[in-house]
Structures are given as structure tokens and as C-alpha cells.
């Protein structure tokens, strides 16, 4: 085997044996080939001592706009309307494809260093984001989705050329999956939906969208279509494709039933929802209804980091307070959302999200020797309630180590930071 982690605590997310102590995990090429408490007989090319360390499945950031690192801290503490229309959209209009590439690289290093092995990213210049992911070795579901122009569907929309470029350039790249979809119901229309349905049918693409993020999203959908966003999208037959719906804050019971019926994933972004005062997604109800739940950071302009450990902790704390029941959701639920739920969302539930033989070697190792992680009565409790992204010491995707001993193996971080900072400064100082 290629890599053997030895004498380590493994949080497998395998329901039969969720946690193994003093265990061994081996990888070969892009797969996990050995998980046991007995030492394997087969030698390994590289052995990593796991004493005081914990292995978890790679975290999935199921909703982000990773190149928005360009706008980290650019427009905080504004109302949502001021933030979006007066600050973020005009600033985004100044971002070039080159900036998207370099700021995506910056965001991906941040993600890798905090234990994220896959992202689901919706943004313009999406081929630049796919290129950055392919180079740095992180999995990426990428798409640029059309927006309403006010005059029906515009064939000059950059999302169309981006979609075809992604399908052509990255067809053979195992790290890249292309999606299409709608930005949101409030800024799309039936002609946009018809186009995305057509391209999804033709190329067998999944969908991503923002759905019911704010109360105003729901109000505008009622004004335009006389239905909630979920009901409007169902009526347009959009859920016939595997769908990741970000936010899902303002849902009716009927909406939740529709999501369950069509297998729509709710990608909850608790930090972003709190920062923009959008509300709290009803994750407890969604879980009870059997809807798949994943977690995301959203873009850093509304977060302001890509640390999935913050999302895990907040996702369950908010539910305890939303329901008035401290037992509403558990630490295990949060870790499940960020690993298994995220992998199911991205269509990889059979191959990613668990540390089991035959699964892809998307693996994260944390240092559990720090004061804030001791004592350790329950490893999953410490992972969700006490750990943070900076406790990650190693990140592996498809068997390739991208980050080891808190050092990147795939890029010089100082150069990535300098490139992004200088491009951002050149645009926002002028």
C-alpha cells in the first residue's frame, strides 16, 4: 500500500463501527484499502504515526463562491440589501477571470488547510475555478448559472459559454464535476429554467441553486409565480435532476415534503445566514422528514472564512435554540452533514464521506494533543464542539497528500497570498 496511518483514532462514519481506537488505515492510489484495529501484514511506502491524532473523512463544503476571498471583509455590518446591491455586486463587476483564478487558489488553500476535500462552487468565470481546483488537487463541483436579464433568456449570458467550456476542458478530470442550475428564483424566470433543464438533460448534469434564503426571496416568488420558490421550481420540473439547494431557511412543510420526494439536498450555511440576518434553516424538521442535509460556508464576503468546523458547531447549536430542545441535533449529526451528507449531495455517497475500504481516500488528520482537545471523553463531541480548522495537520484527496505537517505540498502559500493580494489591490485601489 502507498500510505499507512498507524495507531490512530479513526472516525469512520461507518454506522457499524463509527470510531476505531488504536487503528490502522491504508491507502493505495486513490482508494482506502485497509481499515482495521490489527496492523496490516502488507508493508507501506509511507507510514504516518497517528498517536494523539484523529482521522476523519474529508469535509465537504456544499455551498461556496470560493473566489469571493477577493471580498473578505470588504462590506461587513451592512443590511443585506445594501451589502448585496451597493457593495458586493458592483465590486464583483470589477473582478476579472484572472482575479477569480488567483482568489480561488487562495480560498482553496484555506479550505484544504481546514480539512475540506470537496467544494460545490457557483460563480462566474467557473472554468478558472475548475482550473485552480484541478491544479491544487481539491475536488470541485463547479458551475456558472444564468441570471435573469429582464428580457427573457440571453444567449450571450457568460454562463452558457462557461458551461460548455467546463464540459469540454474538464470532461476527463476526476476532480471536477460540472453542474448547471439557477442562481435563485427571484433572479431567474421560466426561459432560464427551460435552458438549464435542456442542458442538464443533454449532458446529464446536476443542479445547484440558492433557495428560500430570505423572507424576501419567498415573497418575490409569490409575487411572480404565486408559489414558494420550492413549489415554483417543482412546477418547472427542475427537481428531476439531482439538486443541491443552498440555504433553505424559509420553508413550508409542503416545501420540505417536495424536497423529500425529489431527493433535494439542503445545503445549510449557518454562519452566512446569521451574518446577513437571513434566519435559521429548519434542519431538525428537514432531518425528521428524511431530507439530505449538507453544510456550506457560502462566500467569505458573508462569513468571513471557509472553516467548516464553525459551520458544524453552529448548525447544531442553532437547532437547539430554534427548537428549545438541547437534544434536537447532536455532534454526530453535524459531522454527518459535513461528510456523508455533503458526499450524497455531490452524488458521491457510495464512494466518499466515510473511511471504509473501497471508498475514495479523501482523508483529514487532526492533531488532538492541543489543550483545547483534552481530555477526550467523546472524540466526535470534541471534533464538533471543541476543534477548529487550524487543528488539521494533514489533508489528502484521492490518495494525494495536499497538506502535511501544516505545510502545503501543492503550492507556495506565500506566492498564492501575494498574487491574490496584489490583484485585489490593483482593482480596488484604482
Binding site for Zn ion (CB under 5 A): 298
- Which of 24-60 are b and which e, b meaning 16 or more Cβ less than 10 Å from the residue's Cβ? bbbbbebbbbbbeeeebeeebeeebebebbbbbbbbb
What is the nearest approach in angstroms of Zn ion to the Cβ of residue 360?
26
Our CB check for Zn ion shows the closer of 122 and 329 to be 122
Our CB check for Zn ion shows the closer of 13 and 300 to be 300
What is the nearest approach in angstroms of Zn ion to the Cβ of residue 210?
5
CA-based R_g, the chain, Å: 21
Our CB check for Zn ion shows the closer of 298 and 310 to be 298
What is the nearest approach in angstroms of Zn ion to the Cβ of residue 252?
21
What is the nearest approach in angstroms of Zn ion to the Cβ of residue 35?
35
What is the nearest approach in angstroms of Zn ion to the Cβ of residue 272?
7
Question: What count of other Cβ atoms lies within 10 Å of the Cβ of residue 347?
Answer: 16
CB distance 48 to 394 below 8 Å: yes
CB distance 391 to 373 below 8 Å: yes
What is the nearest approach in angstroms of Zn ion to the Cβ of residue 300?
11
369-372 own/partner pairs: CB under 8 Å, 24+ apart: 369/52, 369/53
Q: Is 111 helix (H, G, I), strand (E, B) or coil?
A: helix
For residue 67, give the C-alpha cell.
473566489
Our CB check for Zn ion shows the closer of 106 and 301 to be 301
Our CB check for Zn ion shows the closer of 57 and 270 to be 270
For residue 415, give the C-alpha cell.
506566492
Inter-axis angle of helices 158-169 and 190-203, nearest 10: 10
CB distance 270 to 281 below 8 Å: yes
- Determine phi and psi for 30, rounding to 5 degrees: -100, 10
- What is the dihedral angle through the alpha carbons of 118, 119, 124, 130, rounded to the nearest 10 degrees? 0
Considering only the C-alpha atoms of the chain, give the largest distance between any 2 of them, rounded to a whole number of Å: 67
- List beta partners, residue 195: none
**Alpha helix positions (H), 236-359:** 253-262, 270-275, 283-289, 308-323, 331-336, 342-345
Our CB check for Zn ion shows the closer of 217 and 333 to be 217
Our CB check for Zn ion shows the closer of 32 and 300 to be 300
Q: Of all residues in this chain, which one has the CB nearest to Zn ion in the complex?
A: 298
Our CB check for Zn ion shows the closer of 298 and 362 to be 298
- Which of 350-367 are b and which e, b meaning 16 or more Cβ less than 10 Å from the residue's Cβ? eebbbbbeebbbbbbbbb
Our CB check for Zn ion shows the closer of 234 and 298 to be 298
What is the nearest approach in angstroms of Zn ion to the Cβ of residue 164?
23
SS3 content of the chain, % helix, strand, coil (to 5): 45, 20, 35
What is the nearest approach in angstroms of Zn ion to the Cβ of residue 65?
6
What is the nearest approach in angstroms of Zn ion to the Cβ of residue 78?
17
Our CB check for Zn ion shows the closer of 163 and 268 to be 268
CA–CA distance, 252 with 92 (Å, rounded to integer): 33
What is the nearest approach in angstroms of Zn ion to the Cβ of residue 363?
27
Amino acid at each position: 500500500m502507498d500510505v499507512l496511518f498507524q495507531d490512530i483514532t479513526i472516525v469512520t462514519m461507518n454506522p457499524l463501527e463509527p470510531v476505531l481506537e488504536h487503528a490502522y488505515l491504508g491507502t493505495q492510489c486513490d482508494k482506502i484499502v485497509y481499515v482495521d484495529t490489527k496492523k496490516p501484514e502488507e508493508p507501506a511506502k509511507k507510514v504516518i504515526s497517528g498517536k494523539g491524532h484523529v482521522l476523519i473523512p474529508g469535509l465537504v463544503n456544499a455551498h461556496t463562491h470560493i473566489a469571493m476571498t477577493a471580498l473578505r471583509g470588504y462590506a461587513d455590518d451592512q443590511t443585506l440589501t445594501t451589502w448585496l446591491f451597493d457593495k458586493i455586486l458592483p465590486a464583483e463587476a470589477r473582478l476579472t477571470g484572472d482575479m477569480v483564478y488567483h482568489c480561488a487558489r487562495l480560498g482553496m488553500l484555506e479550505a484544504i488547510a481546514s480539512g475540506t476535500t470537496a467544494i460545490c462552487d457557483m460563480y462566474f468565470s467557473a472554468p478558472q475555478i475548475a482550473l485552480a481546483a484541478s491544479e491544487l488537487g481539491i475536488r470541485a463541483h463547479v458551475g456558472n448559472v444564468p441570471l435573469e436579464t429582464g428580457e427573457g433568456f440571453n444567449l450571450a449570458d457568460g454562463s452558457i459559454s462557461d458551461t460548455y467550456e467546463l464540459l469540454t476542458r474538464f470532461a476527463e478530470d476526476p476532480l471536477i464535476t460540472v453542474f448547471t442550475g439557477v442562481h435563485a428564483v427571484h433572479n431567474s424566470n421560466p426561459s432560464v429554467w427551460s435552458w438549464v433543464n435542456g442542458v442538464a438533460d443533454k449532458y446529464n448534469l446536476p443542479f445547484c441553486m440558492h433557495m428560500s434564503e430570505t423572507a424576501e426571496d419567498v415573497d418575490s416568488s409569490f409575487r411572480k409565480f404565486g408559489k414558494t420558490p420550492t413549489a415554483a421550481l417543482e412546477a418547472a420540473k427542475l427537481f428531476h435532476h439531482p439538486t443541491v439547494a443552498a440555504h433553505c431557511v424559509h420553508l413550508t412543510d409542503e416545501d420540505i415534503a417536495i424536497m423529500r420526494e425529489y431527493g433535494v439536498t439542503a445545503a445549510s450555511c449557518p454562519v452566512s445566514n446569521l451574518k446577513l440576518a437571513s434566519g435559521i434553516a429548519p434542519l431538525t424538521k428537514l432531518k425528521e422528514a428524511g431530507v439530505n442535509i449538507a453544510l456550506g460556508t457560502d462566500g467569505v464576503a458573508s462569513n468571513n472564512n471557509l472553516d467548516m468546523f464553525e459551520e458544524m458547531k453552529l448548525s447544531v447549536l442553532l437547532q437547539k435554540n430554534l427548537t428549545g430542545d438541547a437534544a434536537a441535533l447532536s455532534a454526530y449529526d453535524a459531522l454527518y452533514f459535513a461528510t456523508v451528507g455533503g458526499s450524497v449531495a455531490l452524488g458521491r455517497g457510495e464512494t466518499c464521506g466515510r473511511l471504509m475500504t473501497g471508498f475514495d481516500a479523501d482523508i483529514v488528520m487532526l492533531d488532538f494533543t492541543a489543550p483545547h482537545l483534552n481530555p477526550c471523553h467523546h472524540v466526535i463531541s470534541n471534533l464538533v464542539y471543541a476543534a477548529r480548522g487550524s487543528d488539521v495537520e494533514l489533508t489528502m484527496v484521492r490518495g494525494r497528500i495536499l497538506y502535511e505537517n501544516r505545510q502545503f505540498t501543492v503550492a507556495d502559500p506565500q506566492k498564492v497570498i501575494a498574487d491574490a493580494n496584489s490583484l485585489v489591490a490593483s482593482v480596488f485601489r484604482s
